[in-house]
Chains A and B, each alone.
Chain A
Amino acid sequence: MKNYDPADIVITGAGIITAAAQGKAAVTDTLLQARSAFAVMQRPGRQHNTAFVGAEIPEIIYPAHFSKKLLRSITLTGGAALVAVEEAWQEARLSGVPPHRIGLITGGSNFQQRELMQIIDAYREKPVFIRPAYGISFMDTDVCGLCTEVFNIRGMSYSAGGASASGQLAVLQAIQAVQSGQVDVCIALGALMDLSFWELQSLRTLGAMGSSKYADDPAAACRPFDRNRDGFIYGECSGAVVIERMTTAAERQVQPYAAISGWAMAMDGNRNPNPSYDGECAVIRQALEKAGIHPKDIDYINPHGSGSLVGDETELQALQDCGLAHAFINTTKSITGHGLTAAGMVEVIAVILQMKAGMLHPCRNLEDPADPSFNWVRETLQHEIRHALSLSFGFGGINTALCLRRL
């Protein structure tokens, strides 16, 4: 008998796309090999006399059953959402669940900025001819509508904004939807944040995004927790997980990846982008308490680790003071880039993929760790994760934490 309780909240399916790979198997390979796709970005609307570095998805491969009409009208965020949900849906065998007992939470807000800017630019001189579909697509809930139409989801669906913690927020909301009985199964989606040069420029000016320091060596730009980091590097990505109770998973004979044993969200009471040691410690301690475990039980940490100068220092201090410096720690963002609204989701999926593989991926570009006393994963190594902690922090004082337990 495995170590689970019928009331356990579990993850029974996952789907993922990053700039370097699409699908769990390919993404697992890229993580374990630390293979990335950073370059000066090329997608229309990303540059304006600039050379912003980031990781872009070269092409989305769609299942053959998606119609041409559907794909014609699809946005980058919508397309990434569909392939992520499709992969999670198939794995969790959701066709066997009544449609009205399935829900979908789209994590993120204002995540189609580049695409909307492109439309506005095209019609700036002739606004009366603007495509009527813009009246729908400018709303984030268009992604909820798209996914619920394609997958015939009839339970509940809404978008939940939590800045760079949106992915984890979607998981938290999905847990609540299942625990409250609103639905039996809830898909949590981390929406691809599609930035235009306006957001990229302002994030750089804020000092949050990396400078042009590595313009001549884009592969070296994304380096969370390294002393030579100077901000986050953007990466396109999206992911989805299926959340339900152990009991419903067992009814469909679906083998879960892991139990979500603890979770927490806390605000700093601070509108600004700066991190909060107190807020981070609060969610770490609350999540551990909810999971009923001690800090020493955590053997792997997937940190927020954006590559921000102050953010990374603050996070390490919080982990240290919460008694977590012993655990293995690596940085998924060093490989995928920072997906902002999708980041928390992609990192939860990175945790369960490593749990399944019995391996931990290395940190890219961690040449001179900000604190060498931590248990950094420098090379791919074998490790059976038992209790993992995943953290996400967002602008506006948002902190979230999740504990995941091997089953």
Chain B
Amino acid sequence: MNVEEIFQVIVQHTREIIPELEEHAFRFNDQLKELGANSIDRAEIIALTMDSLSIQVPMLDLSGAQNMGELATLFHEKL
């Protein structure tokens, strides 16, 4: 699975948690917080993504991600 594919998994779960983003054209530099995801929403998106990717990453290891693209890259490094 490449970074783009992981990004699409994150997008899928973001749309699940925030249905209002169904029509949003996601880009790598999108920030979940700016898109209206509060801290619980962000934790939910990350937990759902880890479940889909079957990987466990400590939340602390993901805290450096500044946007959704960086988040996808960090997940890719852990695969």
Contacts of A126 in B (CB 8 A): 51
**In the bound complex, do residue A130 and residue B47 qualify as a contact, i.e. CB atoms below 8 Å apart?**
yes
Per DSSP, are chain B's interface residues mostly helix, strand or loop, or mixed? helix
Known contacts: A68-B20, A69-B18, A69-B20. The answer to whether A132 contacts B44 by CB under 8 A is yes
Number of interface residues, chain A, beta carbon within 8 A? 13
- The answer to whether B79 has its CB under 8 Å from any CB of chain A is no
- The answer to whether B50 has its CB under 8 Å from any CB of chain A is yes
Bound Cα distance from A136 to B40, whole angstroms:
9
Bound Cα distance from A294 to B47, whole angstroms:
61
**In the bound complex, do residue B19 and residue A132 qualify as a contact, i.e. CB atoms below 8 Å apart?**
no
Chain B, interface residues (CB within 8 Å), range:
10 to 19
Contacts of A132 in B (CB 8 A): 40, 43-44, 47
Contacts of B66 in A (CB 8 A): none
**Other-chain residue from A72, A73, A129 in contact with B50 (beta carbon distance below 8 A):** A129
Contacts of A69 in B (CB 8 A): 17-20, 36, 41
Contact with B along A44-85 (1 / 0, CB 8 A): 000000000000000000000001110011000000000000
Contact with A along B38-67 (1 / 0, CB 8 A): 001101100110110000100000000000
**Which residue of chain A is the closest to B49 with respect to CB atoms?**
A129
Segment 132-172 of A: residues with Cβ below 8 Å from B: 132-133, 136
Contacts of A136 in B (CB 8 A): 40
Would you give the shortest CB distance from B23 to chain A, in whole angstroms? Answer: 12
**In the bound complex, do residue B19 and residue A131 qualify as a contact, i.e. CB atoms below 8 Å apart?**
no
Contacts of B40 in A (CB 8 A): 132-133, 136
Bound Cα distance from A129 to B19, whole angstroms:
21
9 shortest interchain CB distances as A-B pairs: A68-B19, A132-B43, A129-B51, A69-B18, A128-B56, A132-B47, A68-B20, A72-B19, A133-B44
21 CB contacts below 8 A, A to B, read A68-B19, A68-B20, A69-B17, A69-B36, A72-B16, A72-B18, A72-B19, A126-B51, A128-B56, A129-B48, A129-B50, A129-B56, A130-B47, A131-B47, A131-B48, A132-B40, A132-B43, A132-B44, A133-B40, A133-B43, A136-B40
Chain B residues near A (Cβ < 8 Å): 16-20, 36, 40-41, 43-44, 47-48, 50-51, 56
| With A67-B20, A68-B19, A133-B40 already in contact, 18 other A-B pairs whose C-beta atoms are closer than 8 Å | A69-B17, A69-B19, A69-B20, A69-B36, A69-B41, A72-B16, A72-B19, A126-B51, A129-B47, A129-B50, A129-B56, A131-B44, A131-B47, A131-B48, A132-B44, A133-B43, A133-B44, A136-B40
